[in-house]
Chain A
Amino acid sequence: MVEDTVLSLQNVSRAYPRDISDTPSAMLREMFLPRALLKHAGPEEFFALRDINLNLKKGQKLGIVGAHRSGKSTLAGIASGVLLPTAGRVTAHGSRLLISRPTAGFKPTLTIMENLAFRAALAGLCGRELTEIIDIALSRCGVSHVEAKTPIGNISPYLVKQLGMTLLLEMPADILIVDELSGVGVGGARWETRGNLLRRIENGTALTISADPAFLEEATEECLLLFNGELSGPFKTSDAIAKYNSIIDETDEEQASLGRSRIDPLSFVDEDSGLPTELVENESMNSAAEKRNLKMEWQPIARIVNIFVDDTPYNHNKVSLIRKAGDSLNIKVDILFAKSTDSCGYALALHPESGNQMADTTINWPSRSFQRGHIYSLYFNFLIPDVPNNSYGVSITPNENHDCLYPKNRLKVLKFGLVGGIGKGKKILIDVKESRLEEQSI
Chain B
Amino acid sequence: MKSFMLAAWHIVMRDYRVRFRRTLLGVIWFLLPLFTLVGMAFFVGKDIGLYTSAEQSQYLVQLLAGLIFWQLLADTWLEPIRFGRRANMVLRAVVFDQRKLLMAGVFSALIAFVVKVPVLIAALVWFEVVPDHAVLLLPLGVASMLAVGMAMACFTLPVSLALLDIRYGMPFAQYTFLLSTPVFYPMPTSGLLAQINQLNPFTYLVIPVRDALIGQPVEAPLFLASGLVAALFLGLGLVYFQAKMRLAIAYIGR
Bound together, the chains give a CA A77 to CA B243 distance in angstroms of 16
Taking a contact as CB atoms under 8 Å apart, the answer to whether B247 and A98 are in contact is no
User: CB-nearest residue of chain A relative to B21?
Assistant: A109
Stretch of B53-61, B66-74, B87-95 on the interface side? B87-95
Q: Kindly provide the distance from the CB of B11 to the nearest chain A CB, expressed in whole angstroms.
A: 8
Q: Count chain B CB atoms within 10 A of each CB in A27, A98, A117 and give the residue with the most.
A: A27
Q: Given the known inter-chain contacts A77-B92, A122-B96, please indicate yes or no for A83 contacting B250, CB distance below 8 A.
A: yes
Interface pairs (27), CB distance under 8 Å: A16-B250, A20-B254, A23-B251, A27-B251, A28-B163, A31-B158, A31-B159, A80-B95, A82-B92, A82-B246, A83-B246, A83-B249, A84-B246, A84-B247, A104-B92, A107-B14, A107-B18, A109-B18, A110-B14, A114-B14, A118-B14, A121-B7, A122-B10, A122-B90, A124-B97, A125-B3, A126-B6
List B contacts of A118 (CB < 8 A). Answer: 10-11, 14
Cross-chain contact A124 with B3 (CB below 8 angstroms)? yes
Which of B7, B9, B22, B91 has the largest number of chain A CB atoms within 10 A?
B7
Distance (Å) between the CB of B251 and the closest chain A CB?
6
Residues of B1-59 at the interface with A, using a CB-CB cut-off of 8 Å, are 2-4, 6-7, 9-11, 14, 17-18, 21-22
In the bound complex, CA of A110 to CA of B16 (Å): 11
Binary per-residue interface labels of chain A (70-108) against chain B in the complex, 1 for a CB within 8 Å, 0 otherwise: 000010010011111010000000001110110011010
The answer on a CB contact under 8 Å between A104 and B94 is: yes
Q: How far is the CA of A108 from the CA of B22 in the complex (A)?
A: 13
> Are A24 and B90 closer than 8 Å at their CB atoms?
no
Question: Is B111 an interface residue, CB under 8 A from the partner?
Answer: no
A296 vs B151: C-alpha distance when bound (angstroms): 57
Report Cα–Cα, A42/B174, bound state, in Å. 33
B194 touches A (CB below 8 Å): no
Interface class of chain A by DSSP: mixed
A14 close to chain B: CB less than 8 A: yes
With both chains docked as a complex, state the minimum distance between the C-beta of A96 and any C-beta of chain B, in angstroms.
6
In the complex, A106 Cα to B202 Cα: how many Å?
37
Are B244 and A105 in contact (CB-based, < 8 A)?
no
Q: Is the CB of A101 within 8 A of B3?
A: no
Inter-chain contacts of A61 with B (CB < 8 A): none
Contact partner, B90, options A27, A105, A110, A125, Cβ 8 Å: A105
Q: How far is the CA of A319 from the CA of B48 in the complex (A)?
A: 55
Highest count of chain A CB atoms <10 Å: which of B10, B89, B243, B246 = B10
Chain B, interface SS category: helix
Residues of A within 8 A of B (CB): 14, 16-17, 20, 23-24, 27-28, 30-31, 35, 74, 77, 80-84, 86, 96-98, 100-101, 104-105, 107, 109-110, 114, 117-119, 121-127
State whether A101 and B251 are in contact (beta carbons under 8 Å apart), knowing that A82-B246, A83-B246 are contacts in the complex. Answer: no
- Asked, given contacts A16-B250, A35-B243, whether A27 binds B17 with beta carbons under 8 Å apart, the answer is no
Chain B residues contacting A110 (CB-CB under 8 Å) are 14, 17-18
Q: How far is the CA of A100 from the CA of B95 in the complex (A)?
A: 10
Q: Roughly how many angstroms separate A80 CA and B250 CA in the complex, as a whole number? A: 13
Q: Is the CB of B93 within 8 A of A98?
A: yes
Chain B residues with Cβ below 8 Å from A119 are 94
How far, in Å, is B160 (CB) from chain A's closest CB?
10
What A residues does B162 contact at CB under 8 A?
23-24, 27
CA distance A77 to B92 in the complex (A): 8
Which residues from A are CB-within-8-Å of B17?
A: 109-110, 114
A153 to chain B, nearest CB (A): 11
Of A101, A110, A124, A125, the most chain B CB neighbours within 10 A belong to A124
Question: What is the distance, in angstroms, from B125's C-beta to the closest C-beta of chain A?
Answer: 39
Q: B248 an interface residue at 8 Å Cβ cutoff? A: yes
> Are B95 and A27 interface neighbours, CB within 8 A?
no
Chain A residues within an 8 Å CB radius of B163: 24, 27-28
The reply on B100 being an interface residue by CB < 8 A is yes
* In the complex, chain B residues 236-250 whose Cβ is within 8 Å of any chain A Cβ: 243-244, 246-250
